Structures are given as C-alpha cells and as structure tokens.
Amino acid sequence: MTTLPKTIGIMKIAVFSTCNYDQEFLEKYNTSHQLVFFEQTLNLDSAPMAQGFQAVCLFVNDRADAEVLSSLAEYGIKVILLRCAGFNNVDLDFAEEVGIKILRVPAYSPEAVAEHTLAMMLTLNRKTHKAYNRVREGNFSLESLMGFNMHGAKVALIGTGNIGKALYKILKGFGCRISAYDPYPDAELVADGLEYMDLREALSDAEMVSLHCPLTDESFHMINENTLKYFTKGAMLINTSRGALVDTAAVINSLKSGQLGYLGLDVYEQEAALFFQDLSGEVIQDDLIARLISFPNVLITSHQGFFTREAMQQIAETTFLNADAFVAGKNMINEIKP
Ligand code: NAI
C-alpha cells in the first residue's frame, strides 16, 4: 500500500454523488481534509449545498456547466476535484473564466475497464448470462447458446490510449486479430504490429468493435445510422467509454434489422437519470433503455468498468494528492485546462 504524505493544509470538501463505497475509500485515504458527503448529484438544484466549502469532489454524472459553475464561484469554490478521468461534464472555458481549477484522476487502473470490456465480450459471445439462468431452472439444453472462438476473431479498437492499450494486450493473449483507429497512433503498439486504419476501414473489417476514446464534439455519436452501415453484418459493439459516443436510437434500429449482432454497454447517453441507483421498484420512464433491455443480444452494466478495489484506491489517493497540491500551491500535474 502506498504511504501518502500528510497535507500542509485542510480544505472543506463537498463530495457529490456519494455511494457507500466512495465514502469508504475516500475516508480511508483522506490525508487530512474535512469531507462532507452528499448522495445528490451536482446540478443547478443541488449547487447551493456547496456553500461554505472550498472544493467540490465530483463524479461522471455531476454537472459542472456554466450555470452550475457560476453558482459554485459565487459560493467561493476554488477547485473541482474530479474522481474520474473523463471531463466532458465540465465547461473548462467557463471554469477558467471564473477562476475555478479543475483536477482529475487521469488514469486509474486502465486494466479494470479493459477487463470489464473483455467480460462483456465473452458474456455476449458465449451467453453465460443465459446459461446461468437456464441451469438454475433445470434446463440443460444448449439450444441457441452457440458462440464463436475469440482466437482468430477480428477486433477493432477505437482509441488506443490507456484503456485501449490494456485491452490490446489482453486480446493479443487470446489470439485475436486486432486493428485500430486513433488519430494519434501509439508508437509502441505500431512496433508491436498493430495496424491502424481510418474509422470506416476499421469498422468494416471487424467482428467486434470496442470504443475507448473520449467524448468530444468530434466523437459525439460517432456510431450513428451512417457508420453502423460500415459494420460487418452481425458484428458486436462494446461501449465502455461514454454513452454519447453512440446514437442509441440508431443502434436500436440496427439491432432490430440484425445488422448489429450484439451490443454491450457500460455507459449510456441518458445514464445520469438511471445509473448508480436502485430503481427496481419504479417504472422506468426511459423508453430507449427499456427497449435495449428487451433484446436477448444486449448486455448493459451500470458504468461499473472502473469498479475494482485497486481502481477505487487509486482514485482516492490521486484525489487527495490533487487536493494537497492545490492547497500547497504546488505544480498540479493533473490539472485540466481548456
Ligand atoms: P486516454 O486519454 O488514455 O486515451 C484516449 C485515446 O482516444 C487517445 O489515444 C486519443 O488519441 C484517442 N482518441 C481521441 N479522439 C478520438 C476519436 N475521435 N476516435 C478515436 N480515438 C480517439 O483515455 P483512457 O484512459 O483510455 O479512457 C478512454 C475513455 O474511457 C475515457 O475517455 C472515459 O470516457 C472512459 N472511461 C470509462 C470508465 C468506465 O468505468 N466505464 C472508466 C474510465 C474511463
């Protein structure tokens, strides 16, 4: 276990979107800040809860757009500690304008997300989720459980940063034939023999496509009605990156026509209203996710790719390293600027 230096100053930090496990890990690795935990996600309604604090600690579905940031600035918030890598939920330009620093956890166990991606691929392929239920009901038939060998299967990785690279190494071990699309090819992977292609070529050459790029204006709905036409008929799409990379209505149509053969989602465009909550006693109002859940060849998990002990520890440790660097006025290596 890493030993962390004790802090030089204490901040009062409002932690939004807290689940039990967040509280457990943040308390365990807290250097010496005063933490107040809120279950609520940060939005315009909940922003007043940040009054009296110097920092807010946010997760993937907290909103830090211009409206929320103006309120935070008014309450004297000086720094946002993101306990995630993605920052598509933060208006960086506006944050700079109102003098709020943004610090994130750039990489926390990329293997955690890569391994979850693999779990989704194998589950969809070998239908272990169905086999589990069948056998529990005394049904030992193999009808409709046939899968395909991962060995020799063609996989396209869209984005080969930390997570894409970790998945590349795993899939290479399986004997998959891997290609990739990334505007910035990784020299180490090129030297290892990975072939980079343009997006269209990568999509049309694969039986499995896995998305590992950030959500930006450019990548918004990169999987849409048009790009789905490039897919090999019956191919598998996995998205463990950000929901809005995929146009949900378009993938539903593609699944209905059989063009898309399997879909694995750990992220969903409208996940903020659903994920991380127990809604089992309620009527789901989101018709798109309800339709997705009804397909036999769709697997949805609730943004749990990151969720391992090792990643939780790294998130907590880096969050406090960031907080300490801010308080000490040190070089903030994990600061994100516009
Ligand atoms: P990274 O920053 O290390 O790598 C991203 C890669 O995507 C870079 O190589 C970049 O050149 C490439 N890229 C940028 N725009 C692209 C585009 N339009 N098309 C193809 N490639 C593009 O990020 P990392 O750590 O690998 O994470 C990837 C994504 O995974 C994050 O942006 C985040 O949204 C998501 N994530 C999901 C988690 C989960 O629990 N499901 C946990 C952590 C991250």
Tens of pLDDT, residue by residue over 62-120, are 999 999 999 999 999 999 999 998 899 999 999 999 999 999 999 889 999 999 999 99
Residues 131 and 244 placed together within one structural domain of the fold: yes
> If you measure from the C-alpha of residue 267 to the centroid of ligand 1, how many angstroms do you get, rounded to a whole number?
13
For the cut 70, the answer to whether the pLDDT of residue 7 exceeds it is no
Residues 101 and 51 placed together within one structural domain of the fold: yes
185 Cβ closer than 6 Å to some ligand 1 atom: no
Mutating to test ligand 1, I would choose from 61, 162, 184, 213 the residue with most ligand atoms within 8 A of its C-beta, which is 213
Residues 136 and 254 placed together within one structural domain of the fold: yes
> If you measure from the C-alpha of residue 303 to the centroid of ligand 1, how many angstroms do you get, rounded to a whole number?
14
Residues 271 and 160 placed together within one structural domain of the fold: yes
3: DSSP letter = P
For the cut 90, the answer to whether the pLDDT of residue 177 exceeds it is yes
CATH number at residue 286: 3.40.50.720
Q: Whose CA is nearest to atom 19 of ligand 1?
A: 182
For 33-99, give the DSSP string: -EEEE--SPPSTTTGGGGTT-SEEEE-TT--B-HHHHHHHHHTT--EEEESSS--TTB-HHHHHHTT
Residues 203 and 147 placed together within one structural domain of the fold: yes
pLDDT of res. 107: 85
Measured on CA atoms in the order 230, 221, 96, 35, is the torsion positive or negative?
A: negative
pLDDT of res. 108: 87
Residues 133 and 228 placed together within one structural domain of the fold: yes
Q: How confident is the model at residue 6 (pLDDT cuts 50, 70, 90)?
A: low
| 6 in any annotated domain | no
Give the up-direction half-sphere exposure of residue 58: CA atoms within 13 A in the CB hemisphere.
31
Statement: the pTM of the whole predicted model exceeds 0.85: yes
For the cut 60, the answer to whether the pLDDT of residue 133 exceeds it is yes
303 Cβ closer than 6 Å to some ligand 1 atom: yes
> If you measure from the C-alpha of residue 241 to the centroid of ligand 1, how many angstroms do you get, rounded to a whole number?
6
182 Cβ closer than 6 Å to some ligand 1 atom: yes
Other Cβ atoms closer than 10 A to 138: 6
317 Cβ closer than 6 Å to some ligand 1 atom: no
Residues 90 and 182 placed together within one structural domain of the fold: no
Q: Quote the number of domains for the chain.
A: 2
| 2 in any annotated domain | no
Q: What's the mean pLDDT in 12-17?
A: 98
Residues 284 and 323 placed together within one structural domain of the fold: no
Residues 155 and 196 placed together within one structural domain of the fold: yes
85 Cβ closer than 6 Å to some ligand 1 atom: yes
Residues 149 and 291 placed together within one structural domain of the fold: yes
Q: How confident is the model at residue 8 (pLDDT cuts 50, 70, 90)?
A: low
Residues 86 and 164 placed together within one structural domain of the fold: no
Residues 155 and 283 placed together within one structural domain of the fold: yes
> Which amino acid is it at 78?
K
Nearest Cα to 77, choosing from 245, 333, 323, 328? 323
Give the atom of ligand 1 at the shortest distance from the alpha carbon of 106.
25
Average pLDDT over the chain reads 95
- Strands 12-15 and 55-58 turn out to be parallel
Owner of token pair 């146009």:
247
Rounded Cα gap, residues 202 and 205, in angstroms: 5
For the cut 50, the answer to whether the pLDDT of residue 4 exceeds it is no
Rounded Cα gap, residues 61 and 16, in angstroms: 10
pLDDT of res. 2: 46
Give the up-direction half-sphere exposure of residue 57: CA atoms within 13 A in the CB hemisphere.
27
Range of the domain at 315: 12-108+308-328
Condensed to tens digits (0 to 9), the pLDDT of residues 206-218 reads: 999 999 999 999 9
Largest pairwise CA distance in the chain: 64
